[in-house]
Structure 1
């Protein structure tokens, strides 16, 4: 190998990279506009990939349960209809859930919000009396006495916001209509692309592998595909686990609050189910909102609700969640907290959701690297006070196993 030629290629690549970077920084506004334009083009396909990833989890489950996991044992007719039928059933289930929310839960929530307005109106005089009993501060008393709840004013405020605020954000009705049409068109393209990915996922998988092995060295390609596989398994396990946990926790609150005759059982159950999708902190956000809603009706029941929340959280976290999800994400609690904190600071709620599987993948890969480095240094086990090394016989066995594994490379 001509080492001078290799060095020249590296230097040339470094020079080209530096020039591109300098031009990009010099014309940063143009580069940013170009990136925004490109993102607008590829966004429907990125959204379609995200939809396909989410739908693939229940679709794969239904396909394996209805038609079996082993495709080779299926007949040709079953293999032909298995994927489309599973996709249709999955989409039907999603639409069924949406319809259920629209026609069953929405009327009940409307009634709950109607009662909530009456509760707020009745709670304000009670709060004013409590404040008068505990303080004589004129500033606080003046502020409290100004509090009032007028449903007509609230409705008028909503109308003014929709008429003025929305009008300022979208200058004309035509632009609003165009935005809606554009949104539907984007979603239609994304959904169609997602369906194509799901129906042809094996074929696409093979094509992507061919491209990767055609342009990337075999060792690097295998390592990259292993990382992708680990990432997919981690994200799908986390997505499934969070959704199952949210449904179970919300259902437990609805049932238990109904049995205890607490107000707003359905509304609080739904709030806790949605907030539980946010790891660690989500359930406590639902608890605060639930406590506030119940407190305006009955302060004693609000305290009982807090106790109920703590009990159900312990049952869910220590008994139900480990059996439903297990250690599929494989991330210690301290790193889960770190991932949620960093993700929340960088990307808000979305960051909280996606940073746990991302950190889990990084943690798993780094752990494997650490174990490999320990083996290279012939270290078998490390404890708080001792370091145990491999014997010469164990080292020879590992070397022979490595040679057999890579004999055909």
Structure 2
């Protein structure tokens, strides 16, 4: 008996086959998740310098365009030479900025860390006194007090960790050489990307329209602009905002007479790039250190950082970051938690913009399919 396969049956066979293949692939990936993550990690380590070069080119694109415009309007040079001079100018300024930052910030930061390590024994004794007082308040026995002190006293662990890492200085020297080589590769890749960005973008557009249908290619083209907008708005803006917060923290610590002002400002500025948890991650260790020096300092810093975070959240971030990313606070918390669990600190930082793009893509796709089906759903607000 001959079975005729019509168009509808063929479509169902393709859909079911693809669904089964996707299910098998997902099941295999979940069963070998550690191997998959290890493979991704090796791939990222190999491609790391080039990915970092793309990131540098992305950050330097706007300044390069502004400098190139100045060369074109103020000189009679050819466009190719204007582009070359603009790229060289912005990279020389970048290198000069990094060099000055290292020359000014790093010595002060290392001096603060050296002073802190020198006073670590005194702080350990102060912490021991606090823990003894806490044990007396709780009415613990001598054995229970020793157990409590051994569990909560972190300074011996810190000292042992420092002693363990000191013999690795030679290995760290080799790691530094590799890091500098990767930085040079990244800078070279960024220069080539900026010099030939029009050709690279045209190649991506040709590949897009050659692989996908016109509607899908148009959608991906528009979506790529959303990607550029979100990353320019969020990442660049967040770095600028964190730099400002770090500078304000440094000035505030100096005015209030706190020790280790460069170290505190560095910790607060770095952790401020992490949404939701960042301000707490930076403030808690600083408050603990100040509590061991002078409890009054800890209270004063807690009030200062609370006011600073309110000013940052209500004034600085809206001005610098502009419009919101279009996701609720729940999804921000979700993206930070999942990104941190998968990729650590970098995942916490990049989790929000990546999830915002995924969310926007799914939302736009759903709205497009609803319009095709002529379905109109009204949103209902709670009473």
How does the TM-score come out when normalised to structure 1?
Answer: 0.73
Q: How does 1:215-230 map to 2 (within 5 A)?
A: 215-230=211-226
Does 1:207 find its partner at 2:203? yes
Deviations 1:353-378 (A, max 9, x none): 22211221133234434555369647
Aligned residues of 1:119 and 1:297 also touching (Cα < 8 A)? no
Residue of structure 2 in register with 1:92 after alignment: 92
Which stretch shifts more, 299-308 or 220-229?
220-229
Does 1:279 find its partner at 2:280? no
For the structure 1 residues 49 and 86, does the alpha-carbon distance in structure 2 shift closer, same or farther, using more than 3 Å as the test?
Answer: farther
User: How far apart in 2 are the matches of 1:203 and 1:114?
Assistant: 50
Aligned residues of 2:226 and 2:357 also touching (Cα < 8 A)? yes
Q: How does 1:186-205 map to 2 (within 5 A)?
A: 187-205=183-201
Does 1:51 find its partner at 2:49? no
Residue of structure 1 in register with 2:284 after alignment: 288
CA RMSD in angstroms comes to 4.3
For the structure 1 residues 196 and 381, does the alpha-carbon distance in structure 2 shift closer, same or farther, using more than 3 Å as the test?
Answer: same
Shift of 1:301: 1.0
How does the TM-score come out when normalised to structure 2?
Answer: 0.77
Shift of 1:102: 3.0
Q: How does 1:3-402 map to 2 (within 5 A)?
A: 4=6, 36=39, 44-45=46-47, 47-57=49-59, 59-68=60-69, 77=77, 79-133=79-133, 135=136, 137=140, 138-142=142-146, 154=159, 158=162, 160-163=164-167, 166=168, 187-327=183-323, 329-369=325-365, 371-372=367-368, 373=370, 377=374, 379=376, 382-384=379-381
For the structure 1 residues 121 and 140, does the alpha-carbon distance in structure 2 shift closer, same or farther, using more than 3 Å as the test?
Answer: farther
Shift of 1:254: 0.9
Look up the SS of the partner of 2:273 in the other structure. coil
| Structure with max Cα Rg | 1
Aligned residues of 2:71 and 2:82 also touching (Cα < 8 A)? no
Aligned residues of 2:233 and 2:321 also touching (Cα < 8 A)? yes
For the structure 1 residues 10 and 84, does the alpha-carbon distance in structure 2 shift closer, same or farther, using more than 3 Å as the test?
Answer: farther
Aligned residues of 1:234 and 1:357 also touching (Cα < 8 A)? yes
Q: How many residues align?
A: 366
User: How far apart in 2 are the matches of 1:374 and 1:15?
Assistant: 27
Shift of 1:307: 0.7
User: How far apart in 1 are the matches of 2:76 and 2:212?
Assistant: 35
User: How far apart in 1 are the matches of 2:176 and 2:317?
Assistant: 40
Look up the SS of the partner of 2:119 in the other structure. helix
Shift of 1:42: 8.1
